[in-house]
């Protein structure tokens, strides 16, 4: 390597940092687990770094790109969502940015499914009963019962990578599946899942005939026992079908009073004030959330209300937090490996230096010939 590249990472991404150093890179890692202040990111970028490794906690906008003008060549984000990076600004300054799609798809989908199970079968409440020494008897229905998942109907909102992976998990539980996505419909995938369902029933492995189909948002919300959200955060100006507060008073009231909402996408997709009311007033039966309008979840959040504790499961943005998924240095397995490989691709000019051919770059539109 002729040039020694300088990189600032706003968080430690494990062994992949050492691999960069072994390649001759000069890498500085922000040592605290919390996000660095933006002023520090600006200072580092101004100092002339070539690459910036970020997380979804770091606001990356025109101010950052201006500070790195002519020097900063790549932003590599360890996450699939990139709503913290202003794409228009990145394009204006012609800085490619990386995300780590695909490698967290299965981990996120399985966590969404486990959240759904924990919520419906009251696993948290049941364990508390035991730990608080309130398990006094076995009784057919006291002190409470949960809701089965097998054979129920789920709505998958957003049928991109994680939505489709979630469909696979749900198909394994013989669920009926309603799909909604205004921008991308994978009919071949849906047909294949139906064929598998039909085969299982013909062979007597599944007792009932179950189905999967695309439908409208309203029908999906009205008919589903579970609603699982897998959309990117898109604000008003960013899409014809924005997802900001997609779940609000109107859409929550459309759901059945026995239905459950699961959100592993982004917090602002759900209007939390409306959801807290929906839970308090029993418009829906429960919710399990991994992401919040403000993270970490503030101590005074209405979602922490003890009155809804039994039907509101709360997790700390944890869906992709599995060992191999987060930290493997293999770009085909780990977010860290993929993030660092994307950074190397840009800085070392892989793919003939053609950014549009680099697999992990998001904003390829800024580099078209």
Give the footprint of ligand NAD on this chain (CB under 6 A).
80-81, 101, 104-105, 108, 157-163, 180-184, 230-234, 241, 243, 246, 264-266, 290-291, 317, 319-320
- When CB distances to ligand NAD are compared, the closest residue is 160
**In contact, 286 and 122? CB cutoff 8 Å:** no
* Nearest by Cα to 303 from 313, 51, 116: 313
**In contact, 51 and 5? CB cutoff 8 Å:** yes
Instruction: Give the SS3 label for residue 123.
Output: helix
| Residue 230 Cβ vs ligand NAD, minimum distance, rounded to whole Å | 5
Instruction: Supply the residues annotated as catalytic.
Output: 266, 295, 317
CB of 108 or CB of 176, closer to ligand NAD: 108
| Residue 265 Cβ vs ligand NAD, minimum distance, rounded to whole Å | 4
CB of 45 or CB of 77, closer to ligand NAD: 77
**In contact, 120 and 288? CB cutoff 8 Å:** no
CB of 23 or CB of 87, closer to ligand NAD: 87
Residue 364: Cβ within 10 Å count:
14
Cα 299 off chain centre by: 23
CB of 234 or CB of 308, closer to ligand NAD: 234
Residue 207: Cβ within 10 Å count:
11
| Residue 51 Cβ vs ligand NAD, minimum distance, rounded to whole Å | 23
| Residue 207 Cβ vs ligand NAD, minimum distance, rounded to whole Å | 31
| β partners of residue 205 | none
- Pairing type for strands 74-77 and 97-98 reads parallel
b/e map of 284-302 (b: 16 or more CB within 10 Å)? Answer: bbbbbbbbbbeeebeeebb
């Amino acid at each position: 390597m002729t040039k020694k590249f300088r990189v600032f990472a706003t968080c430690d991404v494990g062994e992949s940092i050492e691999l960069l150093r072994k390649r001759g890179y000069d890498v500085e890692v922000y040592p605290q687990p919390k996000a660095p202040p933006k002023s520090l990111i600006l200072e580092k970028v101004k100092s002339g770094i070539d690459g910036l490794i970020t997380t979804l906690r770091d606001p990356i906008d025109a101010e950052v790109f201006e500070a790195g003008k002519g020097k900063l060549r790549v932003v590599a984000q360890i996450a699939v969502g990139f709503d913290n990076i202003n794409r228009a600004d990145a394009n204006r300054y012609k800085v490619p940015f990386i995300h780590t799609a695909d490698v967290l798809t299965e981990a996120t989908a399985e966590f969404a499914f486990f959240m759904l199970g924990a919520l419906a079968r009251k696993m948290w409440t049941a364990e508390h009963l035991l730990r608080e020494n309130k398990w006094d008897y076995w009784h057919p229905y006291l002190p409470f019962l949960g809701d089965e998942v097998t054979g129920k109907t789920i709505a998958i909102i957003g049928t991109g990578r994680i939505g489709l992976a979630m469909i696979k998990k749900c198909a394994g539980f013989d669920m009926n599946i309603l799909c909604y996505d205004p921008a991308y419909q994978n009919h071949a995938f849906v047909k294949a899942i139906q064929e598998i369902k039909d085969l299982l029933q013909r062979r007597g492995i599944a007792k009932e005939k179950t189905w999967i189909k695309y439908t409208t948002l309203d029908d999906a919300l009205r008919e589903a026992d579970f609603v699982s959200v897998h959309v990117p955060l898109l604000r008003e100006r960013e899409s014809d079908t924005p997802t900001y507060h997609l779940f609000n008073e109107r859409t929550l009231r459309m759901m059945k009073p026995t239905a459950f909402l699961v959100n592993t996408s982004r917090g602002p997709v759900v209007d939390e004030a409306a959801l807290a009311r929906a839970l308090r007033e029993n418009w829906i039966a429960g919710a399990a959330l991994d992401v919040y309008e403000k993270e970490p979840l503030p101590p005074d959040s209405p979602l922490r209300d003890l009155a809804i504790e039994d039907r509101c499961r709360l997790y700390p943005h944890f869906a992709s937090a599995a060992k191999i998924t987060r930290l493997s240095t293999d770009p085909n397995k780990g977010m860290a490996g993929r993030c660092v490989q994307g950074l190397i691709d840009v800085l070392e000019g892989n793919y003939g230096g053609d950014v549009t051919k680099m697999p992990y770059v998001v904003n390829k539109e800024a580099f078209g010939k």
